[in-house]
Structure 1
Amino acid sequence: MKKKYLLLLLTASLFLFSGCSEDNNSSNKISLGLMSDTAAIPFILADQAGYYESLGINVEIQIFQSAVDRDSALQANAVNAVSSDLIASGFFKESDNSLRITSKSECGYAILSSPESNIANPLDLQGKQIGLSTNTLMEYLVDLTIEKYSIPDVTKTNIAKMPARLEMLRENQIDAATLPDPLTFLAQKNNSSVIVTNEDLGVYPGVILFDENFALKHKALISKFYEAYDKAVDEINANGIDRYIESINQVANFPEPVLSDLNNLKYAHSSLPSEENVNSAMEWLHAKGFISEFYAYEDMILSFE
């Protein structure tokens, strides 16, 4: 299973960067693959508000509803950068490609209880069944929760597809589940309760990965990319996203019931993940045998600060 997963990532990464067209390597263009989660919002708003254009750069955004869809699309489409997470970045590094972390991406994650589970706090997870996707960020967050709160006897149930996980949570077929925003908002509307968040664990796992060769050749372009992102963050924090929500959702395709929740989101300016967070993820991957060695912080990141 581990070898198959690594092979999938290696195959995706080879197509991802060896197949880049000349057009996508042009001097002012970034082709950006994003997941349909809340981390995508500032990047989309920067495009909708004209911040990229005002700085003379062209950012082509592609949105994916699942990591499987994204990785499948990567085999057929040229991109320069993708939204990902610390765990996936370790798998990519093990595959010996040139992806490097250039910043955090801000998306919340949570373990939520099913409506009838009577789980009120992390300790109530003892003896319960938690839906997640194994060998991914979701399992990492569950393991951190188990470790932090010393919870024995937790059953991990692999439900790879998030819509199925959300539905099983709603129907009380599992006791709890790990989900990203905005699916956490939708689960709460279905009477689930948040038990643990990534913030409770002190972990901010979302990242943006750039092809190192592309990034080093286009340092000014990447700096402008993050300048536009920071302008979008300032706009969101000052005024919300009401005036952009319709155009943003035409791109991101968020569930209609959660749109009102998105206006309450706040973001921080672009920055690298902490060394502590990166090291924690690499330690987990190494302990699980998913990576052959512990990758140091400086081997994982590429700074434009």
Structure 2
Amino acid sequence: MLGKRLSAITACGAAAVLVLTGCSSKATSGSGSGAKAAAGSPTVNIMVGGMSKQIYLPYMLAQQLGYYAKAGVNVKLQDEPAGGDATQNLLAGQVDGVGGFYDHTIALQGQGKSAESVVSMLQIPGEVEICRTDLKGTVKSPADFKGRALGITDTGSSTDFLTQYLTTKSGVDPATTTRRGVGAGTTFIAALKQKAIDCGMTTEPTVSQVLKNNLGFILLDMRTADGSRQALGGTYPATSLYMTTSYVDSHKDAVQKLVNAYVATLKWIQAHTGAEIADKMPADYYAGVGKDAYAKALDSEKGIFNPNGLMPADGPKTDLSVLSAFNPAVKGKSIDLSKTYTNEFVSAATPIS
């Protein structure tokens, strides 16, 4: 069945597997690095769509730097490997915000729901389409996806959105493919090894681990601006913090403090090397690929991170164009992009030292 994870691949067993695969433990962590915000500070629960992925690095890095506490907000981070599931938890009121791709706010508006990005963390997706090594020369582009099993994080995730778009753009009906939710890290790698998928979309540090072990080759690379424009037609804002509009309107002080922490984190990323960033991250984040490879991957893709947190002016239109190509919740709908994000809090962000 489409989007269902293969039980043999995604079984969350040993603690080490939990870290590397992105299988969600639903565990929470406080406003970290040993520092806590002052008593009486607001508490915000944020679910992140795979915290160990480099594309979501600002969430844990802000904690490791102590920026949540300095901004005066208590943050509880929860790990959920699939963005679609995180969005459902947001709508159900289980969490206050989601660390996920901005495109979910567009899809939600198409479904009659209102959510908005309050800070843009990635200017481009940072995603890579990888195919099994034995298919090199056979699969040359998404035009060869017909009849193929394609790995995605899970149904309704942004990797699902992007995979369907790339397939459609290349003249292949997504219905002629099998999209399988295989998560990231160990589960994604296992799917390649077992030939449960032919190609799949994933991010660093999984990409480096796949290449290191010669398990696959890169078909499409959206870790660069040029690669993203070639694949998607323009700048594609990705990782953001999005919340329901009702929450944003009623918790402006808490949202501002959060955004202060993230803007400071984005600036810190730009001012430091991959090795310096890796030194701040929990060892579990690079255990599968090694600290040096993790740092090297960060150096090579630092350009994916938004240096200031503002929504790129041309970005929302690209996201809408992608979703309009295949997503029934968006296709043919009148979408007001101005309601899917706000720059209000980034523009008012105050420095953190």
Aligned with 1:290: secondary structure?
A: coil
Instruction: Verify: 1:268 aligned to 2:306, yes or no.
Output: yes
Q: Which residues of structure 2 form unaligned runs of 5+?
A: 3-39, 223-227, 348-353
User: Which residue is equivalent to 1:5?
Assistant: none
Q: Match of 1:176, as an amino acid?
A: C
Alignment TM-score, normalising by the size of structure 2:
0.65
Correspondence 1:232-271 to 2 at 5 A: 232-240=265-273, 242=275, 245=278, 248-249=281-282, 253=285, 255-257=287-289, 259-264=291-296, 265=298, 266=302, 267-269=305-307, 270-271=309-310
Query: Alpha carbons of 1:165 and 1:158: their partners in 2 closer, same or farther (altered >3 Å)?
Result: farther
Native 8 Å contact 1:278 1:297 kept in 2: no
1:63-119 deviations in whole A, cap 9, x for unaligned? Answer: 223447646866997422102224433443345444222233435111111011114
Equivalenced residue count is 278
Which of 126, 130, 136 is equivalent to 1:118? 136
1:27-86 deviations in whole A, cap 9, x for unaligned? Answer: 633222112222331222222112222232222222223447646866997422102224
User: Which residue is equivalent to 2:34?
Assistant: none
Instruction: Verify: 1:109 aligned to 2:141, yes or no.
Output: no
Query: Alpha carbons of 1:196 and 1:241: their partners in 2 closer, same or farther (altered >3 Å)?
Result: closer
User: Which residue is equivalent to 2:44?
Assistant: 30
Which of 178, 190, 197 is equivalent to 2:221? 197
Distance, in Å, in 2 between the alignment partners of 1:51 and 1:38 is: 18
Structure number with higher helix proportion:
1
Query: Alpha carbons of 1:143 and 1:238: their partners in 2 closer, same or farther (altered >3 Å)?
Result: same
Which of 319, 330, 335 is equivalent to 1:295? 335
Aligned with 1:261: secondary structure?
A: helix
Aligned with 1:239: secondary structure?
A: coil
Query: Alpha carbons of 1:190 and 1:74: their partners in 2 closer, same or farther (altered >3 Å)?
Result: farther
Query: Alpha carbons of 1:86 and 1:237: their partners in 2 closer, same or farther (altered >3 Å)?
Result: closer
Query: Alpha carbons of 1:143 and 1:73: their partners in 2 closer, same or farther (altered >3 Å)?
Result: closer
Q: Which residues of structure 1 form unaligned runs of 5+?
A: 3-25
User: Which residue is equivalent to 1:16?
Assistant: none
Please state how far the C-alpha of 1:297 moved relative to its aligned partner. Answer: 0.5
Identical-residue share of aligned pairs (%): 17
Instruction: Verify: 1:57 aligned to 2:73, yes or no.
Output: yes
User: Which residue is equivalent to 1:283?
Assistant: 324
Distance, in Å, in 2 between the alignment partners of 1:121 and 1:211 is: 40
Instruction: Verify: 1:226 aligned to 2:259, yes or no.
Output: yes
Distance, in Å, in 1 between the alignment partners of 2:172 and 2:323 is: 24
Q: Match of 2:339, as an amino acid?
A: D
**C-alpha RMSD over aligned residues:** 3.6
